[in-house]
Amino acid sequence: MKSKILDRLREGNFVSGQSMADDLHISRTAVFKHIKSLQKAGFIIESVPKQGYRLIGETKKLHPLVFNKYLKTKFIGRPTLHFDEVASTINQVMLRADKADEGLVVVAEKQLEGRGRFSRHWASPAGGIWTSILLKPKCPPTEAARLNIIASLAIAVSIEEVAKIKAQIKWPNDILVKERKVAGILTEMVAELDKINYAVLSFGVNVNNSLPAELQGQAISLRQATSHQVDRHILFAAILNKIEDYYIEWQTKGFDFILDSWRQYCSTLGQIVEVKGLNKVLKGKALDVDENGQLILRTADGKKHYLSAGEVTLPSGGS
């Protein structure tokens, strides 16, 4: 109902409460309550006696009532739950995963306990994109890393299209702009031996947010990289649109085209790198990534190693 009220207000000029009540078959009291709810969400709505309501400005929050204008998906983001602040969007999806339909999205303005790989803290202040998506792919757990490939490709392509700046992918799941990290991805799942019950695909993008001083040399925001604010609503919708497109293609046609496209964006391939795992560090040439997301690394002795995870750096210490 709030969406229908916004549509009326977006027509411009004043709209009377009675007119909206009549058109939407609800009471004027209900209209008033919806207006108050929209104002609480950050929409700037003017109220003038005997004239009605007028929309002065859209909310700055990453709210579905705004980015739905750009969303072209069939199921991802339908619905989207928006929070001003949560411990983590992953937790919010996990709480609902058993009963919710595939495609549920949770997005928050801030995360207090955002996390990345290896349980590292992920700074999630206002101004970025912090979100998690519920997916239920029909595949064995061994193929779960394909979700990271899908998301990283979708984010990189969307950043180039919306922010007009070159983006690259660093294996396994970081997106770089100007050789610094602008986004990261984390996938968690509940699975059985031969099937995934559900997966939570989460990602964070530094858009217009400030970064902690200790991350300035390693990370970057799109605002820093482009010297202007980037529209979060358009970028977020573009990412969700592409994730769904790639996800459906994988589930119906196969993964080859997606992986080939991902390779074009991957800055790791062809480089001499060091990969730090839990127990050892391997140095060699990054030859390729296989269909399940494993990095194929050839060490100096000619042996090929298939790595499913690790921290990649250049031997000189760069990343």
Confirm if 110 and 124 have CB atoms less than 8 A apart: yes
Determine the pLDDT at residue 277: 83
How many angstroms separate the CA atoms of 239 and 236, rounded? 5
174 in Cβ contact with 183 (< 8 Å): yes
Task: Band the pLDDT of 113: cuts 50, 70, 90.
Answer: confident
| Mean pLDDT (whole number) for 37-56 | 94
Backbone dihedral angles phi then psi of residue 153, each to the nearest 5 degrees: -65, -45
Residue 215 confidence (pLDDT): 79
Alpha helices per DSSP H over 164-221:
none
Pairing of strands 52-57, 281-289: unpaired
Q: Which domains does the chain have, with CATH numbers?
A: 2-57 (1.10.10.10), 64-265 (3.30.930.10), 272-313 (2.30.30.100)
CB 200 within 8 A of CB 217: no
Q: What is the pLDDT of residues 243-252, one digit of tens each?
A: 999 999 999 9
Quickly state the pLDDT bin for 13 (edges 50, 70, 90): confident
**φ and ψ at residue 69, rounded to 5 degrees:** -60, -25
pLDDT for position 118: 53
Q: Is the pLDDT of residue 278 over 80?
A: no
Cα 12 from Cα 55, distance rounded (Å) = 7
- On the question of pLDDT at 183 being above 70, the answer is yes
159 secondary structure, DSSP code: H
- Which has the minimum average pLDDT: 42-46, 75-79, 83-87, 118-122? 118-122
Share of the chain above pLDDT 90, in %: 86
- Average pLDDT in the 167-190 region? 95
Task: Find out whether 171 and 312 touch, Cβ atoms under 8 Å.
Answer: yes
Question: Residue 319 — very low, low, confident or very high, per pLDDT cuts 50/70/90?
Answer: very low
Strand 295-299 to 304-307 pairing:
antiparallel
Q: Categorise residue 77: left if φ over 0, alpha if ψ from -120 to 50, beta otherwise.
A: left
